[in-house]
């Protein structure tokens, strides 16, 4: 049975699973048409698996922002695999490619993309550069957690950008959770202190802290973030339980440096890949996962409140290749008929 | 990390073939491979990279490179020339309408920095072009986007036209243009909501705003960190509404900003401004050449070298070198040297051109104290001829006199004497070590100690 078939069977029969797979399919529709149609073209163009084929495949992957080093590694792996399995026909190579993509992503430890909930209060800190969608993600995440039956409190830690506090406030009202805030321009660490105190006295399950966007090369701002982190862990031992780095799927190779620098400063525990509903492929997460071992925990697939989905690498790759899968299915069926 | 500069990588390739007397075509091919790496790592679009590499390869295969003693540097120069060329050569101006008001539309993806740039642009137009801007809050979708623009307007004391979020952006824009006419505000800047380029409904909305009064400028705001997708985004926006220029934001980060090159090449629309920080005045006119250096990760070393070449007298440099070797370097030579460095332009500008200088913490805020150089000059001018050639004779009485004569303190004089001694020692050591290396440093001795 082909890899895709296995994937598909895995998700079939389970209504919940199917629904979220559909979300992926819709959200990644544009990504898929770009990426998959290229792979399909490639397969159609080259009947045989040869160097030209590999070269062009390399380009398709580079265009997905996967990054040079990762692509080179992947190509080496693929060449080896193709040789080992003695794949000659390009139509069979699709499944090998996706298998390898998932493998690169999952290299090493078992995937852990659940939120790490504490027994008492769970603190989630949201960090990232400017304009990646931190505040929006917090709104969606709050909605998600509330639906799971958790009590949620938000902390308006972006006291710098004009309108940021108001933005979180609107999300708080939409979702129906309280927002702890101070005046614009106040010390974000002080806001966090207040928020943690409030969260404790109200006995909420989850506190989600917003922070101002900052470019990772701004030393002062990164120090400020460290202070925020410190204040939280002083008030709640073991907190923050999750530090989520929001990454824009349209970001190119700089995402790797973002992940690395934010990891050094705040011990990032997971990534939220936002704006994946555009044509961008977000391929850099493969590199980040394999180099820095930071898992992607959520993906943003649209502007609606429920457009935040837990990340599943297999589904992600399935989303990328869904068309190819259907084709392969048909081919197999035809062969079986004969 | 993966982001070493192109020059470094090329040097790596070069050392491999250093032993060979000639550079072959295969070597050039090797070098172009490195160029390709560097460009892809800088997020330049792959198609653009391919075309570009082809073009450069042809030029690099020319005889002037092959026969040059420094083929590596020649290739770097060709690459940079071509990059600059691709990015549009020179800066382009803003179009103002002869019929009031001038209308500028800001469009782009979510989170690119449209609202912030709208504010910055208004400030810049008021300051440099004497315009009276009106900001229009036409982003009715994102929570608190209107408040954000209002806050920015308040900070800049620039009027903001907002009608809440219950009426359509098209209607807001229409009323705003009327309002500007009535109030004699000559420039209307419309901040639109961030949208995906594939969202047809929202793209239609932009077309409707555009048809109110043909905008004089439609700026696409693009995050400099955007990867390969930048081309798709720019192309879609351009096809749908026809952009007139690009504003590249968040360039104060450590991204190489290859998106700039791709967009320019694919849409043929100029990059007009770049956002360089979070403060309201951090918007600059775009310089293609600086961007080229940045994409290649080599600082602005080439223009520094060019500056040095045009301003430093080679004859004099040779004489100086001789003096260093024989330890006959005097305060007169020191003055000469300082004058030459000064000719190259403001010191902090020069510093910024050094590769890697952008990584030095706090340098962006460091103001090099040029008056410090003036003080040094004054001290030297207050010395007698004998003192200048044989500083050893300067005793405490002489120091007192020099300090009085130059309007400085004895400590200042002492510091300069110490620096001068250190410099001489260092130079002697270096010229003893390796003449080639020494020469490089010698063109600007003591530059570092001058502004400590």
Is residue A187's pLDDT more than 80?
yes
Of residues B102 and B334, the one with the higher pLDDT is B102
Q: Closest chain A residue to B113 measured between Cα atoms? A: A131
The verdict on whether omega for the bond into residue A246 sits within 30 degrees of 0, i.e. cis, is no
Best-predicted range by mean pLDDT (A101-105, A260-264, B198-202): A260-264
Tell whether the model's pLDDT for residue B117 goes beyond 70.
yes
Which overall architecture, per CATH, does domain A17-110+316-337 show?
Up-down Bundle (1.20)
Lowest mean pLDDT segment, chosen from A313-317, B163-167, B254-258, B266-270: A313-317
> Smallest CA–CA separation between A253 and chain B, in Å?
6
Please indicate whether residue B229 or residue B302 has the higher confidence score (pLDDT). Answer: B229
Indicate the Cα dihedral angle B102, B103, B108, B112, nearest 10°. Answer: 50
Is there a contact between A162 and B147 if contact means CB atoms under 8 Å apart?
yes
B145 neighbourhood in chain A, CB within 8 Å: 163, 167
At residue A96 the predicted structure's pLDDT band, cuts being 50, 70 and 90, is confident
* Cβ atoms of B145 and B193 closer than 8 Å: yes
Most confident stretch, A270-274, A308-312, B84-88:
A270-274
Of A298-302, B180-184, B323-327, B391-395, which gets the smallest average pLDDT?
B323-327
The C-alpha atoms of residue B75 and residue A174 are separated, in whole angstroms, by 58
Domain annotation for chain B: domains and CATH numbers: 6-86 (1.20.120.140), 102-296 (3.40.50.300), 301-450 (1.10.260.30)
Q: Bigger pLDDT: A101 or A34?
A: A101
Kindly report the average pLDDT of chain B as a whole number. 79
For residue range A115-126, list pLDDT tens digits in order: 888 888 999 999
A122-312 matches A17-110+316-337 in CATH topology: no
Is residue A208 within 8 A of residue A152, CB to CB? The reply is yes
**Substitution target from A218, A245, A253 for chain B, most B beta carbons within 10 A:** A253
What's the whole-number mean pLDDT along residues B282-296?
Answer: 81
Nearest-CA residue of chain B relative to A161? B148
Query: Rounded distance, CA B276 to CA B249, Å?
Result: 7
When scoring A131, A170, A173 by the number of chain B Cβ atoms within 10 A, the one with the most, hence best to mutate, is: A131
In angstroms, the CA B45 to CA B250 distance is 19
Residue B399, CA atoms < 13 Å, CB-side half-sphere: 15
Predicted local distance difference test score (pLDDT) of residue A43: 67
pLDDT of amino acid B189: 96
pLDDT of residue B135: 96
Identify the pLDDT of residue A114. 79
B207: number of Cβ within 10 Å:
12
On chain B, the residues whose CB falls within 8 A of the CB of A279 are 197-198, 229, 232-233
Distance CA B193, CA A9 (A): 41
Question: pLDDT: is B274 or B33 the higher one?
Answer: B274
pLDDT at site B437? 39
Task: For A285-300, write each residue's pLDDT tens digit.
Answer: 888 888 888 889 999 9
What does DSSP say about strands B187-192 and B283-285: parallel, antiparallel, or unpaired?
Answer: unpaired
Predicted pLDDT of residue B2? 43
Instruction: Name the pLDDT band for B152 (thresholds 50, 70, 90).
Output: very high
Interchain pair B143, A217: CB under 8 A: no
Task: Work out whether strand B283-285 and strand B133-138 pair parallel, antiparallel, or are unpaired.
Answer: unpaired
- pLDDT at residue A192 greater than cutoff 90: yes
Give, as one character, the DSSP assignment of residue B162: -
Length of chain A counted residue by residue: 338
Query: Does the distance separating the beta carbons of A133 and B225 come in below 8 Å?
Result: no
Q: Which residue among A132, A160, A170 places its CB closest to the CB of B143? A: A170
Q: Are A238 and A192 in contact (CB under 8 A)?
A: no
If you ran DSSP here, which 8-state letter would residue B226 be given?
A: B
Q: What is the largest CA-CA distance in chain B?
A: 84
B361 exposed, middle or buried (CB, 10 Å; 0-12, 13-18, 19+)?
A: exposed
Residues of A whose CB is below 8 A from B198: 30, 278-279
CB contact under 8 A, B43 and A278: no
Higher pLDDT, B411 or B308: B411
* Mean pLDDT for chain A overall: 81
Residues in A closer than 8 angstroms to B259, CB to CB, are: 252
Domain range summary for chain A, segments of one domain joined by + = 17-110+316-337, 122-312
First to last CA, chain A: 17
- Cα dihedral A271, A276, A279, A280, rounded to 10, equals 0
CB contact under 8 A, B233 and A279: yes
CATH placement of domain A122-312 = 3.40.50.300
Provide mean pLDDT across the span B33-53: 86
Structure confidence at residue B322 (pLDDT)? 72
* Whole-number Å distance between alpha carbons of B413 and B403: 6
Contact: A260, B37; criterion CB under 8 Å: no
For position A11, what pLDDT does the model report? 52
Q: Which chain A residues have a beta carbon less than 8 Å from that of B143? A: 139, 166-167, 169-171, 174
| Cα separation values, B95 from A191, B161, B187, Å | 45, 22, 11
pLDDT at A140: 95
Instruction: Return all residues near A310 (Cβ < 8 A) that are at least 6 apart.
Output: A20, A113, A114, A297, A298
Phi-psi region of B362 (alpha: psi -120 to 50; beta: other; left: phi over 0): left
Of B1-5, B144-148, B319-323, B363-367, highest mean pLDDT: B144-148
ipTM: 0.81
CB–CB contact B144 A215 (8 Å): no
Q: Does A252 touch chain B (CB under 8 A)?
A: yes
Kindly determine whether residue B109 and residue A166, on different chains, have CB atoms separated by under 8 Å: no
| Res B95: pLDDT | 87
Rounded distance between C-alpha atoms, residue B181 and residue B188, angstroms: 10
Selection from A88-97, A127-136, A292-301 with the highest mean pLDDT: A127-136
Q: How crowded is residue B322: how many other Cβ atoms within 10 Å of its Cβ?
A: 12
Q: Compare A130 and A91 and report the one with higher pLDDT.
A: A130
Q: Do B227 and A253 touch (CB under 8 A)?
A: yes
Residue A131 is nearest to which of B41, B113, B151, comparing CB atoms?
B113
Among B148, B226, B362, whose Cβ lies nearest the Cβ of A162?
B148
The residues facing B267 across adjacent strands are: none
Q: State residue B442's pLDDT score.
A: 39
Q: What is the CB-side half-sphere exposure of residue B149 using CA atoms within 13 A? A: 31
Rounded to the nearest angstrom, the minimum Cα separation between A80 and chain B is 23
Adjacent-strand bridge partners of B285? B273
A129 vs B3, B253, B256: nearest CB: B253
Minimum mean pLDDT range among A60-64, A82-86, B59-63 = B59-63
Q: Which residue of B has its CA nearest to A166?
A: B144
pLDDT at B450 over 80: no
CA separation for the pair A295, A285 (Å, rounded): 8
Q: B83 or B413: whose pLDDT is higher?
A: B413
Share of chain B above pLDDT 90, in %: 31
- Range in A87-96, B269-278, B359-368 with the lowest mean pLDDT: B359-368
User: Could you give the residue ranges of the DSSP H alpha helices within B221-363?
Assistant: 230-241, 259-267, 288-296, 301-311, 314-325, 331-343, 347-353
- Phi then psi for residue A258, to 5 deg, are -60, -50
Q: How confident is the model at residue A202 (pLDDT cuts 50, 70, 90)?
A: very high
DSSP states of B59-107 as a string? Answer: HHTSHHHHTSS-HHHHHHHHHHHHHHHHTTSS--PPP--SSSPEEEEEE
Measured between beta carbons, which residues in chain A are less than 8 angstroms from residue B115?
162-163
Contact A253 B2 (CB under 8 A): yes
Average pLDDT over residues B423-452: 51
Q: Are strands B283-285 and B271-275 parallel, antiparallel or unpaired?
A: antiparallel
Give which of A62, A254, A283 to mutate to test B binding, by max B Cβ within 10 Å: A254
| Residue A50: pLDDT over 90 | no
Q: Is pLDDT of B262 > 80?
A: yes
Question: Which range among A13-27, A240-254, A261-275, A290-304 shows the weakest confidence by mean pLDDT?
Answer: A13-27
Q: Are B187 and B102 in contact (CB under 8 A)?
A: yes
Of residues A245 and B325, more confidently modeled: A245
Closest-CA residue to A134 (of A275, A246, A296, A298)? A246
State which of A60-69, A131-140, A320-329, B382-391 shows the largest mean pLDDT.
Answer: A131-140
Chain B residues whose beta carbon lies within 8 Å of the beta carbon of residue A69: 2
Average pLDDT over residues B289-313: 64
Name the CA dihedral angle for B432, B437, B440, B441, rounded to a multiple of 10 degrees: -60
Task: Report the percentage of chain A scoring pLDDT > 70.
Answer: 77
Q: Which residue of B has its CA nearest to A280?
A: B229
Higher-pLDDT residue of B59, B160: B160
Mean of pLDDT values over B309-319: 63
Which range, A65-69, A145-149, A286-290, A311-315, has the best average confidence (pLDDT)? A145-149
Q: Which of A163, A251, A255, A260 best probes binding to B when mutated, by most B CB atoms within 10 angstroms?
A: A163
Average pLDDT over residues A43-72: 78
Instruction: Please tell me if residue A129 touches chain B, with a CB cutoff of 8 Å.
Output: yes
Backbone angles phi, psi at A157, to 5 degrees: -85, -5
- Work out the end-to-end distance of chain B between its first and last CA atoms, rounded to an integer number of angstroms: 31
């Amino acid at each position: 049975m082909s890899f895709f078939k296995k994937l598909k069977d895995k998700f079939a029969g389970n209504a919940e699973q199917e629904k979220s797979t559909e979300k992926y399919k819709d959200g990644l529709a544009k990504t898929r048409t770009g990426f998959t149609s290229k792979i399909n073209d490639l397969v159609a163009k080259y009947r045989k698996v040869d160097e030209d084929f590999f070269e062009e495949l390399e380009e398709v992957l580079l265009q997905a922002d996967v990054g040079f080093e990762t692509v080179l590694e992947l190509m080496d792996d693929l060449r080896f695999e193709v040789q080992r399995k003695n794949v000659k026909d390009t139509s069979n190579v699709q499944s090998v490619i996706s298998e390898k993509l998932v493998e690169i992503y999952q290299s090493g430890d078992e995937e852990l993309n659940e939120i790490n909930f504490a027994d008492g209060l769970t603190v989630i800190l949201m960090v990232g550069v400017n304009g990646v969608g931190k505040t929006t993600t917090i709104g969606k995440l709050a909605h998600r957690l509330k639906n799971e039956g958790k009590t949620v409190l938000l902390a308006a830690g972006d006291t710098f950008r004009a309108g940021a506090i108001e933005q979180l406030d609107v999300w708080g009202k939409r979702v129906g959770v309280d927002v702890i805030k101070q005046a614009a321009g106040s010390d974000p660490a002080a806001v966090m202190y207040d928020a943690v105190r409030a969260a404790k006295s109200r006995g909420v399950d989850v506190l989600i802290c917003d922070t101002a966007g900052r470019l990772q090369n701004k030393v002062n701002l990164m120090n400020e973030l460290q202070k925020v982190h410190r204040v939280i862990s002083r008030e709640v031992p073991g907190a923050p339980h999750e530090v989520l780095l929001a990454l824009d799927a349209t970001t190119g190779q700089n995402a790797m440096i973002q992940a690395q620098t934010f990891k050094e400063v705040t011990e990032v525990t997971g990534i939220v890949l936002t704006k994946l509903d555009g044509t961008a492929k977000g391929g850099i997460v493969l590199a980040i996962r394999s180099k820095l071992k930071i898992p992607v925990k959520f993906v943003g697939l649209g502007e609606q409140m429920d457009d935040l989905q837990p990340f599943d690498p297999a589904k992600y790759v399935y989303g990328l290749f869904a068309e190819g899968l259907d084709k392969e299915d048909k081919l197999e069926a035809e062969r079986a008929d004969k | 990390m993966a982001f070493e500069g192109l020059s470094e990588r090329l040097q790596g390739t070069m050392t491999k073939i250093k032993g060979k007397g000639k550079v072959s075509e295969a070597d050039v091919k090797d070098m172009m491979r490195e160029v390709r790496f560097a460009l892809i790592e800088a997020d330049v679009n792959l198609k653009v990279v391919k075309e570009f590499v082809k073009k450069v390869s042809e030029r690099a295969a020319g005889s002037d490179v092959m026969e040059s003693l420094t083929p590596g540097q020649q290739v770097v120069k060709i690459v940079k020339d071509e990059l600059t060329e691709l990015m549009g050569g020179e800066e382009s101006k803003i179009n103002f309408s002869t019929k009031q008001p001038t209308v500028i539309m800001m469009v782009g993806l979510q989170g690119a920095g449209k609202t912030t740039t709208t504010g910055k642009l208004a400030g810049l137009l008021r300051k440099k072009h004497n315009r009276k801007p009106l900001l229009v809050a036409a982003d009715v979708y994102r929570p608190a986007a209107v408040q954000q623009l209002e806050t920015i307007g308040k900070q800049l004391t620039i009027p903001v036209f907002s009608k809440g979020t219950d009426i359509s952006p098209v209607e807001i824009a229409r009323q705003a243009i009327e309002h500007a006419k009535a109030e004699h505000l000559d420039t209307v800047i419309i901040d639109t909501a961030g949208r995906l380029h594939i969202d047809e409904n929202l793209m239609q909305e932009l077309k409707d705003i555009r048809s109110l009064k043909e905008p004089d400028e439609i700026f696409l705001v693009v995050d400099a960190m955007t990867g390969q997708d930048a081309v798709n985004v720019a192309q879609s926006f351009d096809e749908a509404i026809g952009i007139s220029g690009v504003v590249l934001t968040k360039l104060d980060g450590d991204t190489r900003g290859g998106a700039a090159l791709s967009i320019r090449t694919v849409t043929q629309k100029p990059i007009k401004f770049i956002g360089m920080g979070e403060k309201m005045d951090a918007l600059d006119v775009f310089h293609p050449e600086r961007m080229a250096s940045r994409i290649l990760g080599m600082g602005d070393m080439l223009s520094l070298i060019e500056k040095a070449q045009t301003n430093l007298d080679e004859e004099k440099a040779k004489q100086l070198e001789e003096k260093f070797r024989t330890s006959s370097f005097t305060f007169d030579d020191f003055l000469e040297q300082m004058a030459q460095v000064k000719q190259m332009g403001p010191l902090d500008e020069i510093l910024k051109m050094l590769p890697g200088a952008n990584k030095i913490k706090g340098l962006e805020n460091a103001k090099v104290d040029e008056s410090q150089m003036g003080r040094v000059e004054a001290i030297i001018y207050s010395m007698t001829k004998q003192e200048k050639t044989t500083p050893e004779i300067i005793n405490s009485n002489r120091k007192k006199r020099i300090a009085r004569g130059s309007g400085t303190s004895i400590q200042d004089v002492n510091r300069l004497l110490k620096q001068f001694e250190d410099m001489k020692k260092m130079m002697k050591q270096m010229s003893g070590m390796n003449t080639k290396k020494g020469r490089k440093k010698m063109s600007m001795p003591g530059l570092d100690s001058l502004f400590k």
